[in-house]
Structure 1
Amino acid sequence: MKKIYVLLLVVILATTAMVSIVSAADTVKIAYLTPSLDVPFWRYVKFGVENEMTKLVPGAEVTTYDSKNDASTQLANAQDAITKRVDAIVISPTDSASIVAVLSIAEEAGIPVVICDIGADSGTYAAFISTNNFDGAKELGEYIATKLEKGSEVAQITLNQARINGVKRKDGFDAGIASNELVDVDFKQMEKVNREEGERFAQDLITAHPEVKALFCHSEDPSMGALSAIESAGRTDVLIAGFDCSPEVVDAIKAGKIAATAAQQPVLMGRYASQAVDKILKGETVEKEIQLGTLLVTKDNINDVYDTLVEVALTEK
């Protein structure tokens, strides 16, 4: 009887071990490669990716890689994820050119890639979740045009123009301000996309162009930096227009310090990216390109749109 009991125990332990191995092997592993977690926008996307993936696939492992705004770091992160045999990669590129190398090594490894924002110059990917940057910036430009006299000078603090989304924001805003023949006199390209750049470039622009009446800043944290520069210079005649949103930007809009922002929906973008991954892994058809709109946020409508903003754009925990 004792021998039978021992044999039974061995069988049970062996079976348990096999089940554990199978369960571990079946764990869905996703990598999210983000440009920089120092930027609030990417933390909002991260939340959307992670939260939605774990809802769709309980027990899924989502590893987020911070690329520190460096293309070579993002490539190294992709190589690490591929070595660890993730089932899929969600990537927000550091720029549209360098992502091509990431797409290439992922394709060679047979790992599907979903691009979430910014876009790629070329390469193979399963799906692309993006914002209609041109239309969002155009609507913002049209709004600013209604606040200024015909022919007024404006300037931009842009994303790196090596990013497709940065080009579209710049062009869209120019198309919008044309409605009142405003003149875009200059622009400065950001690399780190942080508050310090926004403040420094705003100082440069209002010094070089003392007649400028509005600054369009392509990201939320730099918009706050630009506001600091304008306030320090005592310029109450310069409007700040932004792209994206943050709690600070919301407060500044309520206070009338920022005229308006075109708010993307980063949490929703992250959720859509995870939904695409889930369909891909199930062998289902997924839309190649999904494009979301922006929300024009002003002092006049901030109370009406605030709850929606929190749901689709401002949650990171």
Structure 2
Amino acid sequence: MQTARASARKRLLTTAAFIAAGGLVLTACSSGEDSSSEPTNNSVEGNQSEGDTVVIGFSGPAADHGWLGAINSAALAEAEKYPDIDLRVAEGTNDANLQISQVEQFINDRVDAIVLLPTDGAALTDVATRAMEAGIPVVNVDREFSSPFAARTTVLGDNYGMGVSAGTYVCEQVGDQPDAVVAEVAGIDSLPLTQDRSQGFKDALESCGLDVTNRVAADFTVQGGEAAASQLLSAAPEIDALWNHDDDQGIGVLAAIDAAGRDEFIMVGGAGSANAMREIQSGEGVLQATIIYPHTQAADGIRLARLLVQDKAMSDLVEIEVPNRVVLNAPVVTSENVEQFLPTAFES
């Protein structure tokens, strides 16, 4: 894994150098040309210029924990930035059937685009496909549909990458201990995103000869995290490293750790809440890192929906169309870089 990363980094540096050099050439060639030409659909000016009003229907799960609340508020805030966006927001729900009816209403209302964070990707695939067939572009957020025909564009956090980042960090901290006990408090096991996180964690640990010896699943809630962590701590009298998939349920995990009087291990969180970052910043507990899972995904979806309907594109790309798939990064936040990430973290 280290060799592959070194190679990838070398390619990135080489590419960056080439682009920088190319930028100098382009600047030199265009310095004497007329700069008054009309902006293109993927120029900064064309991208940001006000166009015809775009009616966007937005539906997501109930905001029953901090990350989902942040998803919703970020989407609303992004829409308010654009005078040419008319955002229609359906009530958040964890009932797939109710969410299906919401999307059907958007179709009947002939909205221009739909941004959909499905409570269950597979269950919402059929109605999203019907929207696409009706000529309404769908932007799929966070939880993927089971068919590529159900969305024009998909915006995802990197769930597998979260696991890789967490596992790599654990390897850096305890990988020199061949008998290190690694534990995991997962999210909802039935969700593909949880499965991807666990698989990435497992794969990264293999690079330093470790594996997960104790694992429990919770439900992304404080109560679920506390109950699952209490069960795990009872079953594992000694732990060297613990990864908890979600910082909201991590509040409960930390409560269980405090109640058990355990402090012999390091803990890594997930999602990147402000609470977790402040805990890392304090340096007073077991939590040493968290892995970012961006709460801006729906906000990105709102912006992309506007670009799609107005036949625009992303100004930082050469391409003249919005990409089919956008996967966001999963960086590790530690005491060394927490001040960089804390200002944009979500409150839970």
TM bracket (short chain):
0.7 to 0.9
Q: Give distance in 2, aligned partners of 1:241 and 1:142.
A: 11
- Cα distance change on mapping 1:277 and 1:304 into 2, 3 Å: closer
Paired AA for residue 289 in structure 2: A
Shift of 1:201: 0.6
Report which stretch shifted further, 248-257 or 217-226: 248-257
Instruction: State the secondary structure of the residue aligned to 2:240.
Output: strand
Shift of 1:43: 2.3
Shift of 1:208: 2.0
Instruction: Name 2:346's counterpart in structure 1.
Output: 314
Report which stretch shifted further, 54-63 or 125-134: 54-63
The 5 A counterparts of 1:98-177 are 98-122=123-147, 123-148=149-174, 149-177=177-205
Instruction: Name 2:292's counterpart in structure 1.
Output: 263
Residue ranges of structure 1 left out of the alignment (5+ in a row): 1-25
1:218–1:243 CA contact under 8 A, matched in 2: yes
Aligned partner (choices 255, 262, 279) of residue 228 of structure 1: 255
Instruction: State the secondary structure of the residue aligned to 1:167.
Output: helix
Paired AA for residue 302 in structure 1: V
1:152–1:182 CA contact under 8 A, matched in 2: yes
Paired AA for residue 71 in structure 1: A
Instruction: State the secondary structure of the residue aligned to 1:235.
Output: coil
Greater gyration radius = 1
Shift of 1:92: 1.4
Q: Give distance in 1, aligned partners of 2:265 and 2:182.
A: 9
Shift of 1:87: 2.2
The superposition leaves residues 124-152 of structure 1 with CA deviations (integer Å, 9 ceiling, x where unpaired) of: 21100112222232122111223223332
Instruction: Name 1:8's counterpart in structure 2.
Output: none
Aligned partner (choices 150, 160, 185) of residue 213 of structure 2: 185
Shift of 1:37: 0.9
Q: Give distance in 1, aligned partners of 2:89 and 2:168.
A: 40
2:289–2:332 CA contact under 8 A, matched in 1: yes
Instruction: State the secondary structure of the residue aligned to 1:60.
Output: strand
Instruction: State the secondary structure of the residue aligned to 2:64.
Output: coil
2:161–2:200 CA contact under 8 A, matched in 1: yes
* Residue 66 of structure 2 is aligned to residue 40 of structure 1: yes
* Paired residues, number: 284
Instruction: Name 2:107's counterpart in structure 1.
Output: 82
Aligned partner (choices 315, 323, 329) of residue 293 of structure 1: 329
Q: Give distance in 2, aligned partners of 1:214 and 1:226.
A: 14
Paired AA for residue 150 in structure 1: P
Aligned partner (choices 272, 277, 283) of residue 245 of structure 1: 272
Paired AA for residue 137 in structure 2: P
* Residue 87 of structure 2 is aligned to residue 51 of structure 1: no
Paired AA for residue 228 in structure 1: A
**TM-score, scaled to structure 1:** 0.81
* Residue 309 of structure 2 is aligned to residue 273 of structure 1: no
Q: Give distance in 1, aligned partners of 2:247 and 2:238.
A: 24
Residue ranges of structure 2 left out of the alignment (5+ in a row): 1-51, 313-320
Q: Give distance in 1, aligned partners of 2:265 and 2:127.
A: 41
User: Aligned-pair RMSD on alpha carbons?
Assistant: 2.4
Identity, in percent, stands at 26
Paired AA for residue 330 in structure 2: T
* Residue 339 of structure 2 is aligned to residue 303 of structure 1: yes
Shift of 1:108: 4.5
Q: Give distance in 1, aligned partners of 2:101 and 2:179.
A: 48
- Cα distance change on mapping 1:81 and 1:190 into 2, 3 Å: farther
